[in-house]
Amino acid sequence: MTTIVSDQDTRSGSPRIEGTRITVLDIKRRVVDNDDDPHVVAGEYDLSVSDVFYALSYYYDHREEFQAHERDAERRRRDGEQRTRERLGLANDRGESAEEAD
């Protein structure tokens, strides 16, 4: 039987399929977000098809938590990009410096 586990030493604690480094979000992103065939994903990750569907079931059972995590990760990514632009003295996404933007 497939088990979903989580520990901080592997994949930063993201829930994953026991005995692998493949996370529930890895499966969700391939099958749900990218519309990849679950059978193909199973073959590429050397999993059973039931492992893939179990991971998807786990995702949907904990969907709100995963969505909150993905929103937080996106916010951190945007914040990091903004800090980088500020450190480089960029005024906007087009790469203009603050002096050129005036």
With respect to CATH, is domain 4-90 assigned 1.10.10? yes
Decide if 23 contacts 62 (C-beta within 8 A): no
For the chain, domain boundaries? 4-90
Q: How far is CA 31 from CA 36, 45, 70, 96, 101, in A?
A: 5, 12, 16, 39, 43
pTM, to two decimals: 0.74
pLDDT tens-place string over residues 13-47: 999 999 999 999 999 999 999 999 999 999 999 99
Work out the average pLDDT over 80-101.
72
Residues whose CB falls within 8 Å of the CB of residue 10, separated by 6 or more in sequence, listed in order: 16, 21
